[in-house]
Amino acid sequence: MSDQMETEVNPVDKNWLQRLKNESWEAELLVSAVAIFAILKSFSGIDWLLTKFIDYLNPNQYLVAYAIIVSGYLAVGVLAAMFSIHFALRAYWIGLVGLNSVFPDYSLEDSAYSPIYTEKTLQMLPKLSVSITKIDELCSVTFSAAFSIMLIYLNFTVIATVYLILYNLAKDVVPEWILLIPLGLFIGYIVYGSILTSIANTKKFRSHEKIQELYFLYSKWGAKILYGPFPKSILQISMIFGSNYKRKKGLIKMILFMLFIGTIFGGVQLVRSNYDYLINYDVPVDSSKKHAYYYADNNVGTDFLLAPEINAGTIKNRVLQLFIPIFKHEKTIFEAKCAIPDFPTFQLPDDTERQKRRDTYLACYAKNQSVTINGRTVEVSFLKSDHPHTGQFGIVTYIDLDSLSNGTHTLGVEKIFEGQNRRKWTIPFYISAKN
Protein backbone atom coordinates (compact mmCIF):
# COMPACT_ATOMS: atom_id res chain seq x y z
CA MET A 1 0.00 0.00 0.00
CA SER A 2 2.76 2.41 0.94
CA ASP A 3 4.70 1.48 -2.22
CA GLN A 4 1.61 2.26 -4.28
CA MET A 5 1.22 5.64 -2.60
CA GLU A 6 4.90 6.38 -3.20
CA THR A 7 4.45 5.52 -6.88
CA GLU A 8 1.49 7.86 -7.10
CA VAL A 9 3.21 10.76 -5.31
CA ASN A 10 6.63 10.63 -6.95
CA PRO A 11 5.53 11.87 -10.41
CA VAL A 12 3.83 14.84 -8.78
CA ASP A 13 6.96 15.60 -6.80
CA LYS A 14 9.09 15.38 -9.92
CA ASN A 15 6.78 17.63 -11.90
CA TRP A 16 6.74 20.17 -9.07
CA LEU A 17 10.54 20.09 -8.83
CA GLN A 18 10.96 20.47 -12.58
CA ARG A 19 8.49 23.38 -12.64
CA LEU A 20 10.41 25.00 -9.78
CA LYS A 21 13.67 24.62 -11.68
CA ASN A 22 12.17 26.19 -14.80
CA GLU A 23 10.74 29.18 -12.93
CA SER A 24 13.49 29.72 -10.35
CA TRP A 25 15.13 32.47 -12.38
CA GLU A 26 12.47 34.96 -11.26
CA ALA A 27 13.23 34.32 -7.60
CA GLU A 28 16.97 34.33 -8.33
CA LEU A 29 16.81 37.81 -9.85
CA LEU A 30 14.84 39.16 -6.91
CA VAL A 31 17.13 37.55 -4.34
CA SER A 32 20.25 38.76 -6.18
CA ALA A 33 19.04 42.37 -6.28
CA VAL A 34 18.19 42.37 -2.58
CA ALA A 35 21.39 40.49 -1.68
CA ILE A 36 23.64 42.91 -3.59
CA PHE A 37 22.14 45.88 -1.74
CA ALA A 38 22.36 44.15 1.65
CA ILE A 39 25.89 42.84 1.09
CA LEU A 40 27.29 46.21 0.05
CA LYS A 41 25.77 47.66 3.23
CA SER A 42 27.53 44.90 5.19
CA PHE A 43 30.90 46.60 4.71
CA SER A 44 29.76 49.36 7.06
CA GLY A 45 28.81 46.66 9.57
CA ILE A 46 32.31 45.22 9.43
CA ASP A 47 33.75 48.74 9.85
CA TRP A 48 31.62 49.10 12.99
CA LEU A 49 32.85 45.75 14.30
CA LEU A 50 36.45 46.80 13.58
CA THR A 51 36.11 49.99 15.64
CA LYS A 52 34.56 48.02 18.51
CA PHE A 53 37.47 45.58 18.46
CA ILE A 54 40.01 48.42 18.51
CA ASP A 55 38.10 50.22 21.26
CA TYR A 56 37.30 47.37 23.63
CA LEU A 57 39.90 44.64 23.12
CA ASN A 58 43.26 44.57 24.80
CA PRO A 59 45.95 44.75 22.08
CA ASN A 60 47.16 41.24 22.93
CA GLN A 61 43.84 40.02 21.43
CA TYR A 62 44.08 42.06 18.26
CA LEU A 63 45.44 39.14 16.22
CA VAL A 64 42.18 37.19 16.64
CA ALA A 65 40.21 40.32 15.76
CA TYR A 66 42.45 40.80 12.71
CA ALA A 67 41.57 37.31 11.44
CA ILE A 68 37.85 38.01 11.88
CA ILE A 69 37.98 41.37 10.10
CA VAL A 70 40.15 40.26 7.18
CA SER A 71 38.07 37.14 6.53
CA GLY A 72 34.94 39.28 6.87
CA TYR A 73 35.97 41.77 4.21
CA LEU A 74 37.06 39.00 1.85
CA ALA A 75 33.88 36.97 2.43
CA VAL A 76 31.58 39.96 1.86
CA GLY A 77 33.64 40.92 -1.19
CA VAL A 78 33.23 37.41 -2.63
CA LEU A 79 29.49 37.43 -1.94
CA ALA A 80 29.08 40.87 -3.53
CA ALA A 81 31.01 39.81 -6.63
CA MET A 82 29.18 36.50 -7.00
CA PHE A 83 25.71 37.99 -6.67
CA SER A 84 26.59 40.90 -8.97
CA ILE A 85 27.97 38.56 -11.64
CA HIS A 86 24.96 36.30 -11.16
CA PHE A 87 22.57 39.22 -11.65
CA ALA A 88 24.34 40.28 -14.84
CA LEU A 89 24.47 36.72 -16.22
CA ARG A 90 20.82 36.04 -15.41
CA ALA A 91 19.81 39.29 -17.12
CA TYR A 92 21.88 38.21 -20.15
CA TRP A 93 20.21 34.78 -20.01
CA ILE A 94 16.76 36.40 -20.11
CA GLY A 95 17.86 38.32 -23.18
CA LEU A 96 19.03 35.12 -24.89
CA VAL A 97 15.78 33.30 -24.03
CA GLY A 98 13.78 36.19 -25.48
CA LEU A 99 15.97 36.17 -28.57
CA ASN A 100 15.56 32.41 -28.89
CA SER A 101 11.77 32.74 -28.81
CA VAL A 102 11.94 34.94 -31.94
CA PHE A 103 14.97 33.45 -33.70
CA PRO A 104 15.42 29.75 -32.79
CA ASP A 105 19.02 29.82 -34.05
CA TYR A 106 21.40 31.34 -36.59
CA SER A 107 20.27 31.43 -40.21
CA LEU A 108 22.64 31.13 -43.15
CA GLU A 109 19.99 31.70 -45.79
CA ASP A 110 18.50 34.88 -44.28
CA SER A 111 21.80 36.46 -43.23
CA ALA A 112 22.48 40.11 -44.07
CA TYR A 113 26.14 39.15 -44.58
CA SER A 114 27.77 37.09 -47.30
CA PRO A 115 27.44 33.28 -46.99
CA ILE A 116 31.21 32.85 -46.63
CA TYR A 117 31.54 35.47 -43.86
CA THR A 118 28.43 34.16 -42.06
CA GLU A 119 29.58 30.53 -42.19
CA LYS A 120 33.08 31.31 -40.90
CA THR A 121 31.69 33.48 -38.09
CA LEU A 122 29.16 30.80 -37.04
CA GLN A 123 31.98 28.28 -36.74
CA MET A 124 33.40 30.39 -33.91
CA LEU A 125 30.12 30.80 -32.00
CA PRO A 126 28.25 28.27 -29.85
CA LYS A 127 24.64 27.45 -30.61
CA LEU A 128 22.09 29.72 -28.93
CA SER A 129 20.52 26.80 -27.06
CA VAL A 130 23.94 25.73 -25.75
CA SER A 131 24.69 29.23 -24.46
CA ILE A 132 21.29 29.41 -22.75
CA THR A 133 21.87 26.05 -21.04
CA LYS A 134 25.40 26.84 -19.88
CA ILE A 135 24.54 30.29 -18.51
CA ASP A 136 21.50 28.84 -16.75
CA GLU A 137 23.68 26.18 -15.12
CA LEU A 138 26.26 28.75 -14.02
CA CYS A 139 23.61 31.03 -12.51
CA SER A 140 22.09 28.11 -10.61
CA VAL A 141 25.35 26.88 -9.04
CA THR A 142 26.45 30.42 -8.15
CA PHE A 143 23.67 30.61 -5.58
CA SER A 144 24.75 27.45 -3.79
CA ALA A 145 28.41 28.54 -3.71
CA ALA A 146 27.50 31.96 -2.30
CA PHE A 147 25.26 30.30 0.30
CA SER A 148 28.14 28.09 1.48
CA ILE A 149 30.57 30.99 1.79
CA MET A 150 28.05 33.02 3.77
CA LEU A 151 27.40 30.21 6.26
CA ILE A 152 31.11 29.38 6.73
CA TYR A 153 32.03 33.00 7.46
CA LEU A 154 29.01 33.55 9.68
CA ASN A 155 29.90 30.50 11.76
CA PHE A 156 33.56 31.53 12.03
CA THR A 157 32.58 35.04 13.10
CA VAL A 158 30.19 33.77 15.76
CA ILE A 159 32.71 31.27 17.18
CA ALA A 160 35.59 33.77 17.23
CA THR A 161 33.48 36.57 18.73
CA VAL A 162 32.04 34.28 21.43
CA TYR A 163 35.57 33.13 22.23
CA LEU A 164 36.75 36.73 22.63
CA ILE A 165 33.80 37.55 24.89
CA LEU A 166 34.35 34.48 27.08
CA TYR A 167 38.08 35.15 27.18
CA ASN A 168 37.56 38.68 28.48
CA LEU A 169 34.94 37.58 30.99
CA ALA A 170 37.14 34.83 32.42
CA LYS A 171 40.64 36.33 32.17
CA ASP A 172 40.54 37.71 35.73
CA VAL A 173 39.72 34.34 37.32
CA VAL A 174 41.24 31.76 34.94
CA PRO A 175 44.98 31.54 34.07
CA GLU A 176 45.67 32.96 30.61
CA TRP A 177 47.41 29.79 29.35
CA ILE A 178 44.20 27.81 29.96
CA LEU A 179 42.14 30.37 28.02
CA LEU A 180 44.57 30.14 25.10
CA ILE A 181 44.27 26.35 24.81
CA PRO A 182 41.16 26.46 22.52
CA LEU A 183 42.87 28.95 20.22
CA GLY A 184 46.03 26.82 20.08
CA LEU A 185 44.03 23.67 19.34
CA PHE A 186 42.09 25.44 16.58
CA ILE A 187 45.25 26.78 14.91
CA GLY A 188 46.93 23.38 15.25
CA TYR A 189 43.91 21.66 13.71
CA ILE A 190 43.88 24.06 10.74
CA VAL A 191 47.63 23.59 10.14
CA TYR A 192 47.30 19.80 10.45
CA GLY A 193 44.35 19.83 8.04
CA SER A 194 46.15 21.98 5.48
CA ILE A 195 49.14 19.64 5.43
CA LEU A 196 46.96 16.53 5.33
CA THR A 197 44.80 17.94 2.52
CA SER A 198 47.88 18.73 0.43
CA ILE A 199 49.24 15.21 0.91
CA ALA A 200 45.93 13.34 0.47
CA ASN A 201 45.18 14.97 -2.89
CA THR A 202 48.54 14.22 -4.48
CA LYS A 203 48.65 11.46 -7.08
CA LYS A 204 50.93 9.34 -4.91
CA PHE A 205 48.50 9.10 -1.96
CA ARG A 206 45.08 9.22 -3.65
CA SER A 207 44.79 5.42 -3.25
CA HIS A 208 46.54 5.22 0.12
CA GLU A 209 43.88 3.81 2.45
CA LYS A 210 45.34 5.09 5.73
CA ILE A 211 45.93 8.65 4.43
CA GLN A 212 42.45 8.82 2.88
CA GLU A 213 40.87 7.53 6.11
CA LEU A 214 42.64 10.29 8.08
CA TYR A 215 41.57 12.84 5.47
CA PHE A 216 37.95 11.69 5.77
CA LEU A 217 38.02 11.94 9.58
CA TYR A 218 39.54 15.42 9.38
CA SER A 219 36.85 16.56 6.91
CA LYS A 220 34.09 14.99 8.99
CA TRP A 221 35.10 16.66 12.26
CA GLY A 222 36.30 19.81 10.52
CA ALA A 223 32.82 20.23 9.04
CA LYS A 224 31.28 20.06 12.51
CA ILE A 225 33.71 22.73 13.78
CA LEU A 226 33.88 25.10 10.82
CA TYR A 227 30.37 24.75 9.42
CA GLY A 228 28.50 25.18 12.71
CA PRO A 229 24.87 24.00 12.70
CA PHE A 230 24.91 23.31 8.92
CA PRO A 231 27.77 20.81 8.42
CA LYS A 232 25.89 18.42 6.13
CA SER A 233 24.39 21.18 3.98
CA ILE A 234 27.73 22.85 3.26
CA LEU A 235 29.58 19.55 2.92
CA GLN A 236 26.92 18.38 0.48
CA ILE A 237 27.42 21.46 -1.71
CA SER A 238 31.22 21.19 -1.65
CA MET A 239 31.06 17.45 -2.45
CA ILE A 240 28.69 18.05 -5.37
CA PHE A 241 31.19 20.53 -6.82
CA GLY A 242 34.21 18.33 -6.07
CA SER A 243 32.74 15.02 -7.23
CA ASN A 244 31.54 16.53 -10.53
CA TYR A 245 34.75 18.44 -11.25
CA LYS A 246 35.83 16.31 -14.23
CA ARG A 247 32.37 16.45 -15.81
CA LYS A 248 31.79 20.19 -15.27
CA LYS A 249 35.28 21.69 -15.22
CA GLY A 250 34.10 24.87 -16.94
CA LEU A 251 31.50 25.58 -14.27
CA ILE A 252 33.94 24.95 -11.42
CA LYS A 253 36.55 27.20 -13.03
CA MET A 254 34.01 29.99 -13.45
CA ILE A 255 33.06 29.74 -9.77
CA LEU A 256 36.77 29.90 -8.85
CA PHE A 257 37.12 32.95 -11.12
CA MET A 258 34.23 34.62 -9.28
CA LEU A 259 35.96 33.84 -5.98
CA PHE A 260 39.12 35.48 -7.32
CA ILE A 261 37.26 38.62 -8.44
CA GLY A 262 35.43 38.78 -5.13
CA THR A 263 38.67 38.44 -3.18
CA ILE A 264 40.14 41.39 -5.07
CA PHE A 265 37.00 43.47 -4.45
CA GLY A 266 36.99 42.59 -0.75
CA GLY A 267 40.71 43.32 -0.55
CA VAL A 268 40.20 46.81 -1.99
CA GLN A 269 37.53 47.54 0.64
CA LEU A 270 39.82 46.10 3.32
CA VAL A 271 42.68 48.41 2.40
CA ARG A 272 40.36 51.42 2.75
CA SER A 273 39.59 50.50 6.37
CA ASN A 274 41.67 50.78 9.57
CA TYR A 275 42.32 47.02 9.65
CA ASP A 276 46.12 47.49 9.71
CA TYR A 277 45.88 49.16 13.14
CA LEU A 278 45.20 45.70 14.59
CA ILE A 279 48.70 44.54 13.65
CA ASN A 280 50.58 47.88 13.56
CA TYR A 281 49.21 49.53 16.71
CA ASP A 282 52.61 49.33 18.41
CA VAL A 283 54.63 50.48 15.37
CA PRO A 284 56.00 54.02 15.95
CA VAL A 285 54.17 56.66 13.92
CA ASP A 286 56.28 58.34 11.22
CA SER A 287 57.25 61.67 12.84
CA SER A 288 58.60 63.05 9.55
CA LYS A 289 55.14 62.98 7.93
CA LYS A 290 52.21 65.35 8.34
CA HIS A 291 49.25 62.97 8.75
CA ALA A 292 45.86 64.38 7.71
CA TYR A 293 44.06 62.61 10.57
CA TYR A 294 45.80 64.84 13.14
CA TYR A 295 43.58 67.82 12.25
CA ALA A 296 39.90 68.36 13.08
CA ASP A 297 39.09 70.06 9.77
CA ASN A 298 40.10 66.82 7.99
CA ASN A 299 38.09 64.55 10.31
CA VAL A 300 34.56 65.84 9.77
CA GLY A 301 33.45 62.58 8.09
CA THR A 302 35.53 60.30 10.31
CA ASP A 303 33.72 57.72 12.44
CA PHE A 304 36.58 56.79 14.76
CA LEU A 305 39.80 58.53 15.82
CA LEU A 306 42.96 56.46 16.21
CA ALA A 307 45.25 59.35 17.16
CA PRO A 308 45.14 62.69 19.02
CA GLU A 309 43.54 65.59 17.16
CA ILE A 310 44.19 69.34 17.15
CA ASN A 311 41.84 72.01 15.82
CA ALA A 312 43.80 72.79 12.62
CA GLY A 313 47.17 72.54 10.92
CA THR A 314 47.38 76.33 10.73
CA ILE A 315 46.68 78.14 14.02
CA LYS A 316 45.53 81.76 13.66
CA ASN A 317 44.04 82.57 17.06
CA ARG A 318 47.10 81.53 19.12
CA VAL A 319 45.10 78.84 20.96
CA LEU A 320 45.61 75.16 20.23
CA GLN A 321 42.84 72.70 21.13
CA LEU A 322 44.03 69.13 21.73
CA PHE A 323 41.70 66.13 21.99
CA ILE A 324 43.17 62.76 23.05
CA PRO A 325 40.83 59.79 22.51
CA ILE A 326 40.96 57.18 25.24
CA PHE A 327 39.83 53.72 24.18
CA LYS A 328 37.74 51.53 26.47
CA HIS A 329 40.59 49.10 27.09
CA GLU A 330 42.95 52.03 27.81
CA LYS A 331 40.56 53.31 30.47
CA THR A 332 40.71 49.90 32.12
CA ILE A 333 44.53 49.93 32.03
CA PHE A 334 44.81 53.48 33.41
CA GLU A 335 42.26 52.87 36.17
CA ALA A 336 44.02 49.67 37.26
CA LYS A 337 47.34 51.49 37.20
CA CYS A 338 45.94 54.28 39.39
CA ALA A 339 44.32 51.72 41.74
CA ILE A 340 41.03 53.64 41.90
CA PRO A 341 38.76 51.97 44.50
CA ASP A 342 35.23 50.92 43.54
CA PHE A 343 32.07 52.32 45.10
CA PRO A 344 30.99 50.43 48.22
CA THR A 345 28.47 47.73 47.29
CA PHE A 346 24.77 48.76 47.60
CA GLN A 347 25.77 52.24 48.74
CA LEU A 348 25.17 55.34 46.65
CA PRO A 349 27.67 58.18 47.13
CA ASP A 350 26.58 61.69 47.98
CA ASP A 351 27.15 64.52 45.50
CA THR A 352 30.49 65.51 47.01
CA GLU A 353 31.85 61.97 46.92
CA ARG A 354 30.56 61.44 43.38
CA GLN A 355 32.33 64.57 42.09
CA LYS A 356 35.48 63.60 43.97
CA ARG A 357 35.54 60.25 42.19
CA ARG A 358 34.95 61.94 38.84
CA ASP A 359 37.92 64.22 39.50
CA THR A 360 39.98 61.19 40.52
CA TYR A 361 39.26 59.47 37.22
CA LEU A 362 40.17 62.61 35.27
CA ALA A 363 43.42 62.99 37.22
CA CYS A 364 44.21 59.36 36.48
CA TYR A 365 43.72 59.76 32.72
CA ALA A 366 45.66 63.04 32.71
CA LYS A 367 48.70 61.74 34.61
CA ASN A 368 49.20 59.04 31.99
CA GLN A 369 49.53 61.58 29.16
CA SER A 370 52.56 63.66 28.28
CA VAL A 371 52.34 66.82 26.16
CA THR A 372 55.32 68.68 24.71
CA ILE A 373 55.84 71.54 22.27
CA ASN A 374 59.12 71.59 20.37
CA GLY A 375 60.43 68.93 22.78
CA ARG A 376 59.63 70.85 25.98
CA THR A 377 57.07 69.58 28.45
CA VAL A 378 53.92 71.70 28.70
CA GLU A 379 51.79 71.77 31.82
CA VAL A 380 48.15 71.46 30.76
CA SER A 381 44.78 71.04 32.43
CA PHE A 382 42.50 68.41 30.93
CA LEU A 383 38.74 68.02 30.90
CA LYS A 384 36.82 64.85 30.07
CA SER A 385 34.97 65.17 26.77
CA ASP A 386 33.09 63.28 24.05
CA HIS A 387 34.27 64.00 20.54
CA PRO A 388 31.65 66.08 18.63
CA HIS A 389 31.79 63.93 15.47
CA THR A 390 32.75 60.40 16.55
CA GLY A 391 31.24 60.45 20.03
CA GLN A 392 34.42 58.88 21.44
CA PHE A 393 35.37 59.44 25.03
CA GLY A 394 38.60 61.34 25.63
CA ILE A 395 40.23 64.29 27.32
CA VAL A 396 40.60 67.80 25.91
CA THR A 397 42.86 70.72 26.73
CA TYR A 398 43.59 74.22 25.39
CA ILE A 399 47.16 75.46 25.04
CA ASP A 400 48.06 79.15 24.89
CA LEU A 401 50.63 79.77 22.12
CA ASP A 402 51.37 83.47 22.80
CA SER A 403 54.93 82.64 23.82
CA LEU A 404 55.69 81.00 20.47
CA SER A 405 56.84 82.78 17.34
CA ASN A 406 55.15 82.56 13.98
CA GLY A 407 56.18 79.54 11.94
CA THR A 408 56.25 75.74 12.19
CA HIS A 409 56.23 73.95 15.54
CA THR A 410 55.69 70.38 16.74
CA LEU A 411 53.29 69.09 19.36
CA GLY A 412 54.30 65.84 21.03
CA VAL A 413 51.65 63.60 22.64
CA GLU A 414 52.46 60.44 24.53
CA LYS A 415 50.26 57.85 26.22
CA ILE A 416 52.03 56.11 29.10
CA PHE A 417 51.05 52.52 29.89
CA GLU A 418 52.83 49.92 32.04
CA GLY A 419 56.62 50.06 32.12
CA GLN A 420 58.16 51.19 28.83
CA ASN A 421 54.94 50.58 26.90
CA ARG A 422 54.09 53.95 25.34
CA ARG A 423 52.49 55.40 22.24
CA LYS A 424 53.83 58.62 20.74
CA TRP A 425 52.62 61.08 18.11
CA THR A 426 54.41 64.12 16.70
CA ILE A 427 51.94 66.64 15.26
CA PRO A 428 53.28 69.57 13.22
CA PHE A 429 51.36 72.85 13.20
CA TYR A 430 51.96 76.37 11.87
CA ILE A 431 51.28 79.68 13.61
CA SER A 432 50.39 82.16 10.91
CA ALA A 433 49.83 85.47 12.69
CA LYS A 434 49.74 87.03 16.14
CA ASN A 435 46.49 88.72 17.12
State the pLDDT confidence band at 242, using cuts at 50, 70 and 90: confident
The pLDDT of residue 122: 81
How many CB atoms are closer than 10 A to CB 304? 21
Residue type, 367: K
Residue 191, pLDDT > 50, answer yes
Residue 17, pLDDT > 50, answer no
Distance CA 319, CA 310 (A): 10
**165-169, 361-365, 400-404: least confidently modelled range:** 165-169
More confident: 292 or 157:
292
Coil, strand, or helix at residue 6? helix
pLDDT tens readout for residues 357-396: 888 899 999 999 999 999 999 999 999 999 999 999 999 9
Residue 2, pLDDT > 60, answer no
The pLDDT of residue 205: 85
Query: 346 — alpha (psi -120 to 50), left (phi > 0) or beta?
Result: left
The pLDDT of residue 349: 66
- Mean local confidence (pLDDT), 130-157: 79
State the pLDDT confidence band at 420, using cuts at 50, 70 and 90: low
Q: What percent of the chain has pLDDT over 70?
A: 89
- Cα-based angle 167, 171, 177 (whole degrees, multiple of 5): 85
Distance CA 392, CA 116 (A): 73
